[in-house]
Structure formats: C-alpha cells, structure tokens
Structure 1
Amino acid sequence: MNIQINFLWQIEHEGKTVTVDPVLFSLLTSLDQLGSLQQAALQCQTSYRHAWGLMEKGEKLFGSPLIIKHRGRGAKLTEAGEKLLQAQRQLQARHAPQLANQATELAHQLSSIQQAQKNYHLRIYASHGLAVSALRDTLNQLQDMPVELHFHGSLESLRALKENQCDIAGFHVPEGELGKRVSSQYLQHISPENHRLIYLVRRLQGLMVPKDNPLSIHSLADLSKGGYHFINRQKDSGTRLLLDQLLDLQHIDPMTITGYKQEEFTHMAVAAMVASGAADCGFGIAAAAQKFGLNFVPIQWEHYCLAVNQQQFEHESVQTLFECVNGHAFQNALVDLEGYQLDRCGQEVAFEQIFGKGFSEN
C-alpha cells in the first residue's frame, strides 16, 4: 500500500472558502524555470487555456497578478508570484519528510488491519536526502515490496538499528580526518561483527547562499564575523555533527554565529529558508542548493552508506533493495544532481573503507 499525504491551500474569498488548485504551483515552478507560460503548460501536461485560467483565478484570490507577459519575450513571475512560489517551496521542504513518515506509518497500520501484508517487512531508517528520496520513489514502484521508510538523523537511525527497531539505517560520514573524528559516535551503534555496509552515494556538503552570493560568504569563518543570519540542522543529524566538527577544527565558536540555534530538519528546508530570504546562509548538500537556484560553496565530501543487520542481509527483500540501488531507475534520478558521485553505488564496503584503517570499535 502506497499512501501519499499532501497539503492544500485554502483562501477565504468573497465569503467562501476556495481551494487553490495544486496545478497552479506546478505552473509557477515551470514558468520560473522556462520563462514561458505555454512551455510551462506543456511541462505540466495541461492546456494553455487552462493554465491561463488558473493564473487569472489566482490573481483574483491573492489580489495581485502572479505573472507578467512580455510580447515576444515570454513571461515571468511578478513579485507576488515569486513570494507565493517561495512559500510553497518552503512549506514542502519543511514538512515533506514528516508527511512521508506519517504516510508510511498509516500505510503500515492499515495494511496490518487488513492483513494485506503477512510476510517480512523491510524497515529502513535513514538520514533525509535526495538520494534516499529517489530510493523511496523507486521502491514504491514495486508493488510486492513491503517497505517501511522513516526519515531520521544519522545517529538516530543507527541507534534504531542497534535496538532492532529497523533492519537498515542510512547514514553519512565525512571523508578523511573528519570521518575519524566522528567515528566513535557512529561505532557505538554498528560493528563489523553485527552489520554490513552498502555504499549509496558520495556527496558534497557546503554553504548554501543566495544566487550570486551578494554578501560574499565564502567560508565558515565569514559567518563568525557577524552581520549574517545562519540556519542550522537539528541535533543528531549527520550534517549538524559534520558542521560542529568543522567549526571545532577551525577554532570557531558556534555562539558567534547568528542563527546557530535555529534548526530545520532537512537539507531542502534549509535551502528553502535561504531562497526565501529568511536566512542568509545554510549548511547542506549541493543538490539542495541546485534545486532552489542557490549558489554553493563546497567544503566537504562524505560517504552515504546503508548499514544492514547481518541476519537480514541475505533476505529476499534486502537483495531486492540492492537491485534497486544498482538499477537504472534509481541512478538516473541522481545523475543530473550536483554534488553526487555514483562510482561505488550499490557496492558492499568494509568498515575500514568508511571509518579508516585504524577505526576504534566501541
């Protein structure tokens, strides 16, 4: 059972509650990218007449034109259209993982009630990211693949694996010396005796800043100088752990960074905050910055892996998941995203390859 939960906009207009057609936001997104309402309508698989009707209806509902047309030069969003699109993107980025978690839980509960799934369920806890979202979408295409996917931070996911709350945990570890600095926290929950590691992607983390970087933010040290508002990730997330280690390595006091205590729960939510102007800078993956048209300052490459319980490794469901990771559908979904490398995607890797030859076991 595959359940998707989304939210709808409702506007009080002339004494009535009017639901905003979700296609309007799809059209605004496409028009922002393509600069043409006609091309946006084609991309959204609707007629130009219907698209134009939605724009006129949106103008009445929100009290201002959402697009402006230029003869021979296509169309672009007005200031009101840009604000509306930013708000939608920020809401989606902030709440999509929670909605996905709720949908997964509801699907599992309903399936249990209906006794529709009597076999083994593959339970996955994973740090949220575009690669994991793509894996979820690929697995959802398999009707006979019973999967429960829950988004949590890296440490929380590994903790759940250790406590047998899940069969697979998705986590990320920085390369090189930084990886050794954080390994002790990860290795409290996984070990070569009890788990095996599957490589998902190599990905790039760094600073997300507005397009053209108007404030000239080029390093973490710039954030401590003041005058900038930062947006952080939540505690127990691998990204927060990475950032804290980078700050410690560069002898930067986190309390000198305005906004350090303000947290979001996904890379996309951080990017949305920067894109909307609510923050001047955030820390996250290059692909999220790309999605929101932001500039990106590269800082650290890292490994993203799946840790699997030894006793579940040969199970048919686990092997099917690995087939998906090695398949064209999953990898094609990532090939055009910035900051992702797929050279080792789907390969089993040793603990030494991720945590270093001298890793310590706890």
Structure 2
Amino acid sequence: MSAAGLSLAGRTRRRLLADPLARASLAVLGLIALACLAGPALTGHAAERIAYDYPRTPPSLAVYPRPETIVPALERLALRMRVRAEDVAVADGTVRLTLASDRPIDERVLTFFSRSDLFGPAAVAARSADGRRLAVTAPVRETRFLLGTDALGRDLLTRILVGGRVSLALGLLATAVALLIGVAYGALAGYLGGAADAAMMRLVDILYALPFIVFVILLVVVFGRSVVLVFVAVGAVEWLDMARIVRGEALSIRRRDYVRAAEALGVSTGAILRRHVVPNALGPVVAYAALLVPKVILLESFLSFLGLGVQEPMTSWGVLIAEGARSIETSPWMLVAPAAVLVATLAALNLVGDRLRAALEPGAA
C-alpha cells in the first residue's frame, strides 16, 4: 500500500520504522523496560535483602566470597558464637572446620552459619566426648554483584531494576494524567473561544505562577511523603503545557469547514470535541506526550534526590542517585550505575519524541 493510502497512524509508524535512529532508540527503551520487568527475578538477589558481609562491594564479575576472605569471615562468625575456629579447610564449595571452646558447645549456635551471607546451614560431622569440640561442615554461598552493592550491602543491579519500575510507571502515569486533563481543558477552551477561553487560560497562567517546589513542600507537610504525592504533584503541573498546545490547535480547528458544518447540523459541543477537535489535534499531542515522559521521569528523580519523592522501602532512580551522591568519594559506582541507566533512558525517550514529531509532519517523506 502506498503512503498516501495509509492512515496517520500507519504513515507515522512507517516513517518511524524507516528511521535508524528511531529504531535504535525504541530498541534501547524496550530492553530497559524488559529488564526492569523481568530482571529482578533473574539477578538472584532480593531488592531489600541486606548482605551485612558485603557493604560497598565494588562491581565485579568475580564470584564471592573470595578465597582469602573465608577464613577471616569464619573467625568473625566464631567470635559471635563465643567459640574458636580451628583446622579450617575449603574444598568443592564446602567449608570444614572444628569449633572449640572451654565449655560444652550448644549446637544451636550453628544457626549463625545460616544467618550469614557467606555460608549455608551447618551440619555436625563429629563431636568430642566432652562436647567441647565440634567438627562442622557448611556450604559456601557463592554470589555475584555485577554492579556492586550499596552502603548496606544491597545488590545495586536489582535495586536499579526495581527503581526503574517506579520511575517508568510514574513517568507514564503522570503523562497519561497530563494528557487527559490537558487535552480536555485545552480543547474546550480553544473551541469555546471568547470570554470562556480568556477565563480558562487566565487560570492556567495563575497555576504557572505557583512555585512548584513550594507546592510540593506544602503537600508533604499536609499529607506526608508518598508515591501518590509525587504522582499528584507532577500531574497537577505538567498538564498546563499540554492545555496550551491543544488550545492553540483547537483555535484553528474550530474555524474549519467540517466543524462549522457539524455546528449547523446541531451536533453538541461534546460530540464536536470528541469527533473533530481532539482527533485532529492528536499529531502535536502525541509528539509532546513522547517528550513529556522523560521530563516527568527527570522531575521525579529531582524530587526524590531532594528527599521529597519516593521513600524507603521503595526506591527509584532519583533515590539511588541521591544515595550515590552522598557516597561518591568512597563508592563512585553507587552514583555512576543508576545515573547511566537514567541518562540512557532519557536520551532514548527524547530521541523517540523528536523523531515522532518529525514523522508526524505533513511533508515528511
């Protein structure tokens, strides 16, 4: 089928798929979204699990624990059990040692092994007659931290993927709210025109004049910190630009012949907006919506960086970047890793929005 016979959506899709930059950006976005959805189940770490033995572990492909750290870890574990670790040997992923004490050893202290991040449940291989020596075996828990751990020992890769779910969800939901409110408000104002248009747009100007950060702080004081608060704060502001864009389109569409014909036939205002004004204004709306998603994600990250957004135990890219900024001198990977994912996502979204806007132009090839 020729390009002339395609609908607006069909022509736009064909132009996007013919653009190498758009295809690459869409592929990056798809990989990031898929990783955030399915990745946390594949990393082998729970997002909130604290590994006390691995705080601030740098990124590495190596398997932990490293051989030179096993004996010191066993000595620390024995100290907590108030015994001595002797005759330590490691082979085939299993550690064998003797626990010695001046008094009979209660086997219940072996639960310290299963509570450790390095070893699994311990088993007694032999026991002396007086109970002061126990021959113990325990499996070594092998693990990897591809992007390192944070200050508490939580796997950074898992937290980035889980945080991506929150950041992307907030970006998409807040953009959807901005679309619904902004399109409806702007289309109505532009179609009505006159005094109604002037009054509606003066309200938009007043809301523009409100300092956004002061508005968020007031919401925090009244309602406390939560994800819903971030959603409300962002959604309450970002629809203003959308309303102005749609209002400008509606002002030109209301003078078209097909709109005047509908008015002459007695079609209601709601039906004219739904059938004629909004569909014919969707081109710039879709392009702006694609550019609004990265803007909302960046805004959420900014609020979380200031401590006004997502709070523990939840996380987002903004929260992770804020934590990394506080530890940049000792643990730079805590800042670099989430910032790199955020930059890649924002760059891909902006490129898609820019190419989408070009594809929606009437004269585009």
TM-score after normalising by structure 2: 0.25
The structure with the greater share of residues assigned to helix is 2
The structure with the greater share of residues assigned to strand is 1
